[in-house]
Amino acid sequence: MILEVKELEVYYGAIRALQGISFQVNEGEIVTLIGANGAGKSTTMRTVSGLLQPRKGEVVFQGRRINRIPAHKIVRLGISHVPEGRQIFPNLTVTENLLMGAYTRRDRAGIKQSLEEVMDRFPRLRERAKQLAGTLSGGEQQMVAMGRGLMSKPKLLILDEPSMGLSPLLVEEIFNIIKTINLQGTTILLVEQNAFMALQVAHQAYVLETGRIVLSGPAREVQANPQIRSAYLGEVQMVS
C-alpha cells in the first residue's frame, strides 16, 4: 500500500467538508474518486497533498504520516498534485512551466532527462516548447499541467479533474495518456466528474457524496452497480 487515508475530517470554517472518509491506494494502481460537484473530491486531494490540514484523521504515505508536513516537503517525498483548472503559468513558456515541476530537484542531468521524457510523452509540447503556455488550447494546457506534475518523478500522481472543459476527442486522448503513465510505473489517484471514463481506466473506485464515501470496490463492480449507473452514467447509458 502506497497511500492510506484514515477517518479524515476537514472543515471550511464551521462547515464539515469531509466527514471521516477512509480509503487506500495500492502501489501500481489507478484509484478514482467520483462524485458530484461539492462531494468533497478536490478537498480530499488538497488534504493528501498538504494544501489543507485535517481537523481529524491521518494521511499515511509509504508508512509515514504526512498530514502535518508542509506541501513542498510532501512533493519531495514523492507526491505530485495536478490541480483542478490546470493552474499553469500563462506568461511562461511551455518549457519553463515544465521545469517549475522540478523545483525540488537538484540533479541537473536528471532534470534534463525528465524534460526529454515528458516531451516524448507529449509530442505537441515539444512542438510548442518556446510558446507561452497561456496561448495554448485547453487540451495542450492540460498536457503542460500533467507534464509539470511528472517532472518531480512522483511515486504517486494526483490528477484533479483532468478532463474538465475538454472536447470528447481530447478527453479520450488524456485518458489514454493516464493509462500509459500508469503502465510505465506511476501510481495514480484520480478525481473525475466524468465517471464513465474514470471507471474505464481505474482499478479501484470510491464514490463520494457530501463528504462521505457511500460505495467502494473494484472499478468494474462499481460501474456495474445499478445505482451508480443511474446516478452517474445515465447519459452514457442513454447514448449507448
Q: What is the pLDDT of residue 220?
A: 94
Q: 167 falls in which pLDDT band (50, 70, 90)?
A: confident
- Report whether 134 contacts 91 (CB < 8 A): yes
pLDDT > 70 fraction of the chain, expressed in percent and rounded: 97
Domains and CATH numbers, the chain: 3-78+154-239 (3.40.50.300), 88-153 (no CATH)
Q: What are the tens digits of pLDDT across the range 181-190?
A: 999 999 999 9
Per-residue pLDDT tens digits for 44-63: 999 999 999 999 999 999 99
Q: How far apart are CA 211 and CA 98, in angstroms?
A: 33
Say how far apart CA 53 and CA 67 lie, in whole Å. 7
* pLDDT bracket for residue 236 (50, 70, 90): very low
Say which residue the cell 469531509 belongs to: 18
CB neighbour class for 13 (10 Å; exposed up to 12, middle 13-18, buried from 19): exposed
Which of the listed ranges 37-41, 86-90, 146-150, 234-238 does the model predict with the highest average pLDDT?
146-150
